[in-house]
């Protein structure tokens, strides 16, 4: 009875220890504000308040304590383009984004990492089941005569054997379960990494596309101004030949025209570089894009800045933050798995087959054999190695926590910056438009006054130079404003807070 009581006490002790190593759900230690500091710059209606499941670190969790994968990740392959890009009304851009998501090589590499993570998770889950191996062999042995007293000659023996061996670890204290949970979290992190790569890809496609359109608009401005300056140069040459002008005016007009023409090769280089870059993003040679993107296109009307509501929802929808959170959950689970090595392992092993000195006897009942029984192992005299493994796992978990907190801080920083940049870019664009229109009217007036002899030619040149600079600044300002809109998409994690995909 005393032995039975002692055994029961040991079992309860081990079970209690196994419960003690279960991890707690992890949340970020970064205080997330209740509203963005830049929210006063946003326009539009506030987004719906976040639910408890939308809070950082408080998402839905599976029975193992890990966050469940978001539904939008599982449907990412079939999901349509987000409403974010439909607001720009550019079908060419939407087509390019769709093609890039299907053919980009970085996306394919990220999807391959998902398959690798899925295989690792499956490999870990197979530890729940017995390991069974089949073996067969033949040996010829000679035994020393000294090993058998009474025999002066060595004995030789043929030995044939065939059978199966099995080993099954009973997961008493959750070592396998926590390892599987960690691999599952890594699999989900890999899924989020795919989404993150897609968000970055779409942002890069949008930025490259509008860099191209901006350079094309600047090229149109330069060529249009160059044509105007050619007419002005011809006018000065005609006036010089008629005795009403000066060589100084002619040379100044020629110098201004040459300066404008000098900007055209650089703009053409930027256009070609943007098209070649687009080819890389689409995972194909850029030659078919040269004709497709050759014609300039107008910039879109930009929408108002949205209100994000609680920043927790904005941060939690970003795939890089989700990935960091799942990696923290994985490393926390691996810590628990490593701590389980402090406790005994119960393994049930067995072997069955045939062993005989004659090959023909294999399969006979007389040559059959089997062995089965449990084994309890405990690294009682090797706890130093166990401690070292636990310390290493805890260090990796600490690193994952720091990276998670850093991801949250970066998400807040990028969101604040993106909202301010977009709002200010739209304001600046209004002033640039007024400046371009005013400078164009001033150039027309300067030409009229010069034709009537009221002013000298220097004012015409100065007005044309100012008009060129204002129109060039306007084209660059439009590019910057659209790129700020693209950066807002990236800061929002690829989802528009007021879009249909975010409706509760």
Sequential pLDDT tens for the chain (504 residues): 454 454 444 444 444 444 444 444 456 656 555 555 555 444 443 333 333 333 333 333 343 343 343 333 334 444 445 567 777 888 899 899 999 999 999 999 999 999 999 999 999 999 999 999 998 888 887 766 666 565 555 567 788 888 899 999 898 888 999 999 999 999 999 999 999 999 999 999 999 999 999 999 999 989 988 988 888 888 888 878 877 778 888 888 899 899 989 999 999 999 999 999 999 999 988 888 888 898 888 888 888 877 766 677 778 888 999 999 999 999 999 999 999 999 999 999 999 988 887 877 787 777 888 899 898 888 888 899 999 999 999 999 999 999 999 999 999 888 888 888 988 999 999 999 999 999 889 988 888 887 777 777 778 888 888 888 888 898 889 999 999 988 888 888 877 643 334 332
Contacts with 118 (C-beta within 8 Å, 6 or more apart), sequence order: 187, 190
The DSSP result for 27-40, as a single string, is ---SPPPSS-GGGG
pLDDT of 172: 87
Residues composing the chain = 504
CA atoms lying within 13 Å on the CB side of residue 57: 16
pLDDT of 232: 81
- 40 burial via Cβ count (<10 Å: 0-12, 13-18, 19+): exposed
Residue 480 vs residues 187, 222, 412, 424: alpha-carbon distances, Å: 37, 19, 22, 10
pLDDT of 502: 36
C-alpha 282/C-alpha 102 separation (Å) is 8
421: enclosing H helix or E strand:
helix 383-451
pLDDT of 153: 56
pLDDT of 443: 86
Contacts with 140 (C-beta within 8 Å, 6 or more apart), sequence order: 156, 157, 158, 159
Residue 448 vs residues 98, 190, 225, 241, 460: alpha-carbon distances, Å: 51, 66, 17, 21, 9
Beta pairing, strands 131-143 & 155-170: antiparallel
Residue 333 vs residues 174, 179, 185, 504: alpha-carbon distances, Å: 10, 6, 9, 31
pLDDT of 496: 61
Rg, Å, the chain Cα set: 37
pLDDT of 270: 93
């Amino acid at each position: 009875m005393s032995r039975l009581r002692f055994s029961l006490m040991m079992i309860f002790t081990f079970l209690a220890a196994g419960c003690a190593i279960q991890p707690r759900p992890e949340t970020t230690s970064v205080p997330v504000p209740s509203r963005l500091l830049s929210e006063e710059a946003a326009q539009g209606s506030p987004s719906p308040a976040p639910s408890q499941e939308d809070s950082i670190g408080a998402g839905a969790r599976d029975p193992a304590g890990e966050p469940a994968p978001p539904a939008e990740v599982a449907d990412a392959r079939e999901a349509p383009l987000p409403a974010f890009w439909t607001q720009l009304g550019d079908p060419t851009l939407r087509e390019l984004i769709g093609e890039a998501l299907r053919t980009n090589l970085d996306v394919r590499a990220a999807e391959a990492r998902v398959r690798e993570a899925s295989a690792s998770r499956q490999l870990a889950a197979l530890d729940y089941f017995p390991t069974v191996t089949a073996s067969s062999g033949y040996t010829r042995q000679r035994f020393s005569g000294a090993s058998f007293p009474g025999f002066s000659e060595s004995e030789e023996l043929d030995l044939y054997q065939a059978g199966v061996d099995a080993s099954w670890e009973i997961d008493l204290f959750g070592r396998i379960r926590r390892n599987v949970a960690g691999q599952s979290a890594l699999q989900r992190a890999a899924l989020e990494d795919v989404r993150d790569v897609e968000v970055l890809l779409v942002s890069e496609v949008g930025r490259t596309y509008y860099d191209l359109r901006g350079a094309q608009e600047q090229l149109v401005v330069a060529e249009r101004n160059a044509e105007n300056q050619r007419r002005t140069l011809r006018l000065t040459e005609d006036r010089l030949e008629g005795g009403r002008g000066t060589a100084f005016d002619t040379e100044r007009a020629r110098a201004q025209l040459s300066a404008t023409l000098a900007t055209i090769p650089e703009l053409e280089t930027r256009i070609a570089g943007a098209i070649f870059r687009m080819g890389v993003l689409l995972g194909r040679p850029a030659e078919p894009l040269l004709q497709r993107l050759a014609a300039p296109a107008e910039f879109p009307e930009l929408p108002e800045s949205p209100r994000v509501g609680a920043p927790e929802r904005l941060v939690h929808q970003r795939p890089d933050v989700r990935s960091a959170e799942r990696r923290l959950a994985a490393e926390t689970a691996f810590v628990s798995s490593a701590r389980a090595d402090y406790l005994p392992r119960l393994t049930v092993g067995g072997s069955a087959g045939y062993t005989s000195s004659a090959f023909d006897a294999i399969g006979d009942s007389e040559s059959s054999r089997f062995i089965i029984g449990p084994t309890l192992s405990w690294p009682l005299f090797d706890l130093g190695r166990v401690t070292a493994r636990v310390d290493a796992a805890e260090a990796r978990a600490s690193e994952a926590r720091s990276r998670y907190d850093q991801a949250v801080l970066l998400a807040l920083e990028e969101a604040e910056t993106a909202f301010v940049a977009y709002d200010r870019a739209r304001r600046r664009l209004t002033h640039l438009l007024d400046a371009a229109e005013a400078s164009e009217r001033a150039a027309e007036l300067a030409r009229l006054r010069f034709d009537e002899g009221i002013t000298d030619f220097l004012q015409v040149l100065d007005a044309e130079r100012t008009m060129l600079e204002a129109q060039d600044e306007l084209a660059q300002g439009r590019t910057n404003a659209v790129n700020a809109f693209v950066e807002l998409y990236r800061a929002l994690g690829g989802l528009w807070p007021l879009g249909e995909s975010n409706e509760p």
